[in-house]
Structure formats: C-alpha cells, structure tokens
Amino acid sequence: MTMPTPEFLHKLADAADRETLARFRKPLDTSSKPKDGYRFDPVTEADREAERVMRELISAEFPDHSVLGEEYGLSGTGTFQWVLDPIDGTRPFLLGIPVWATLIGFTQEGRAASGMMSQPVTRERFWADQTGSWLETSAGKTPLRSSAKTEMAEAILHTNSPEGVKRNKDVNFDGLDAAVKMTRYGGECYAFAMLAAGQIDLCLEYNLQPYDIVPLIPVIQAAGGVVTTLDGGRAEDGGRVLASANMELHRAALKILLGQA
C-alpha cells in the first residue's frame, strides 16, 4: 500500500493531538527560529514532540516514503512524501487561542493528494482524499463546500497579519481590501478551513512554506476552491499564495492584486 487511508491520517492526528493538547495553555519553554521580517518565530517542545510521534508512525507504516516537516526538515527520497506542520500557528498556541492546528499532507510526485487539519480543542478535523472534502467531529462527517460567491463586493478576505502586507508593496492588497465586503486578520490555518467550509471567500498569504499549505490544498480543492501562487503557479511550492472559493473569484482577485484591474 502506497496511498494512505483516512484511518491512517486520523491515527497520525490522534498521536499529534495527545502531544499538543497535553501542553496547551500550560507553561512552556519557548525558543525562536530566524525568519525574515519577524522578530519572534516561536518553537516549543509541543511542536517537536508532535512531529516526532507522527514521523515514527509514518516510518513504521511507510518506510519508503519521505517526510518533510517544519521541525526536523527532510528525510528520505521518492515519489511519495509526507508534509507535516505539527503546530501551524504556534503564536496563538502560546496565547491560548485555538486557531492553531496540526497539518498533515501527502503528495505524489510533488502534487498534494490528501491532507488533514486537526484542531483538537474544538475537536474538528478537516480532511480530504479522492472521495471529497470533509469536516469530521464527534457528531459525524459532513461534506465541505466552498462559497459560490462571484461578486467581489460580497466577498470576505482574510490574511493572517499586516506584516506581510507591509513587506509586499508590489502586491495591491489595498485595492483588494477596498473591493471586498470585509477583511479580517489572525485566523492562521483555520481561515483556510473556513474557506473550504464556505465561510470565507479569499485567503491571501505572502510567505508560506510547503508544510503551511500542502495539507490544506486538497481540503480546499475538493470543496470546490482554487489555490495557486500569485503568479498562477503551483501552491505546493509555497511562497505568495491565494486561495479562493471558486475560479471566477480567484481570477478577479488575482487581477486586482497584480494591478491588472
């Protein structure tokens, strides 16, 4: 078996949840990694332990697969690769705000094939495979569907922080902000899940790593959404990324952001 089952994605999430929840809203030793434009980019033992236990399970089940993780980098080579972010949103994790999550992605020949976002505080898992995009809770599994809005004046835009806006003056964020109904900040990866769920229409981020976005691509795409870089390239490589509820809205937003409208 080379492709993971939903059961195995849940098994990875269960293991990560045990490590993160045990440390959430508890005193933690925190260090900072260097990151352009940020004076503080935290990492904790919760990040490291959650990734470690997921790697152990993957190695036991799929020893021929490679793994790319935020905390321990790249190990292995091959067609199939796991892409892990043990805590996407370490800052809100440290603040006790539950918009962080564990991101688990799987790629085949560099393309995102399945993914899961696990938020253990709210007990929600957003995941996707070849069967569709789903929200799973203790109440059961429901399909996700992105918004059908195509009028920019009715759209809701999200970007995580104003720091990216300040550093990317070549991107016409002000133009898009002026065109939409409302802009909000601070939702981390949860905002992408809400795009798949039809609550948010546009998510713009300026400096994503593959582990920040690969696990979310299948969830958004299988729900009907679109994810690319600002130059229209593959989002799996990270960088400046726009996710939209549908293709019509995506094209219109890109034109504004690139100064073509």
Across the range 111-125, mean pLDDT stands at 98
Q: How many beta carbons lie within 10 A of that of residue 136, not counting itself?
A: 18
Cβ atoms 244, 253 nearer than 8 A: yes
Using CA atoms, how far apart are residues 212 and 97, in angstroms rounded to an integer?
A: 18
- Do β-strands 156-158 and 202-208 pair in parallel, antiparallel, or remain unpaired? parallel
Across the range 183-207, mean pLDDT stands at 98
Given a cut of 70, whether residue 35 has pLDDT beyond it is no
Cβ atoms 105, 211 nearer than 8 A: yes
Across the range 148-155, mean pLDDT stands at 98
How confident is residue 28, by pLDDT bands cut at 50, 70 and 90? confident
For the chain, counts of helices (H) and of strands (E): 9, 15
Q: pTM, whole model, 2 decimals?
A: 0.94
DSSP 3-state of 40: coil
- Residue 87 annotated as binding site: yes
Q: Can you give the pLDDT at residue 7?
A: 97
- All domains of the chain in start order, with CATH: 6-143 (3.30.540.10), 152-257 (3.40.190.80)
Separation in Å, CA 259 to CA 213, 227, 237: 25, 19, 23
Percent of the chain with pLDDT over 70: 95
- Residue 212 annotated as binding site: yes
Which of these ranges, 77-81, 117-121, 215-219, has the smallest mean pLDDT? 77-81
Q: Can you give the pLDDT at residue 43?
A: 80
